Amino acid sequence: MRDKTKIFIFSGVGGDRAGLLVSPFASSSPDGLNWVAIDKGFDEQQEAHALEESPLAGYAVKGVDGERVSKGISGLIGVLITFGVGLALFGALPSFRGRNEAGSPREAS
């Protein structure tokens, strides 16, 4: 395995653990947009999101007791999904570079 790939994987694992440890302490207070809606009085006009009933809605995992544990698992899942997508894109990059170096039409002057 190349050094850059190892660094990427170890960074992801570190971020994964940070997400698990830090996410349980996320504030339950409204974020910026929600706060402004409450402050300006138009929060009542809010419509339900299509994914409101999804297993990870509301920064929690349905079926897991304990708010902090649920948030921690939710953070872990989010980091793992993000890491997986990044790893897939990172893995596709060398094949894309290889095609360009072989003389793609973009290099023509």
Structure confidence at residue 23 (pLDDT) = 66
- Whether 86 contacts 12, CB under 8 Å: yes
Domain boundaries in the chain?
3-27+53-103
Structure confidence at residue 22 (pLDDT) = 72
Structure confidence at residue 106 (pLDDT) = 53
Burial class (CB in 10 A: 0-12, 13-18, 19+), 76: middle
Structure confidence at residue 87 (pLDDT) = 81
The number of residues in the chain equals 109
Structure confidence at residue 102 (pLDDT) = 54
Structure confidence at residue 1 (pLDDT) = 62
Measure the CA–CA gap between 77 and 11, rounded to whole angstroms.
Answer: 16
What pLDDT tens digit does each residue of the chain (109 aa) get?
677 777 877 776 776 676 667 766 767 676 788 888 888 988 888 888 888 888 888 778 888 888 888 888 887 888 788 888 888 887 787 776 666 555 555 554 4
Residue 68's contacts (CB-CB under 8 Å, 6 or more residues apart) are 24, 25
Structure confidence at residue 19 (pLDDT) = 64
Structure confidence at residue 25 (pLDDT) = 73
What long-range pairs does 87-95 form, CB within 8 A, spacing at least 24? 87/8, 87/9, 87/12, 90/5, 90/8
HSE-CB of 103 using CA atoms within 13 angstroms? 0
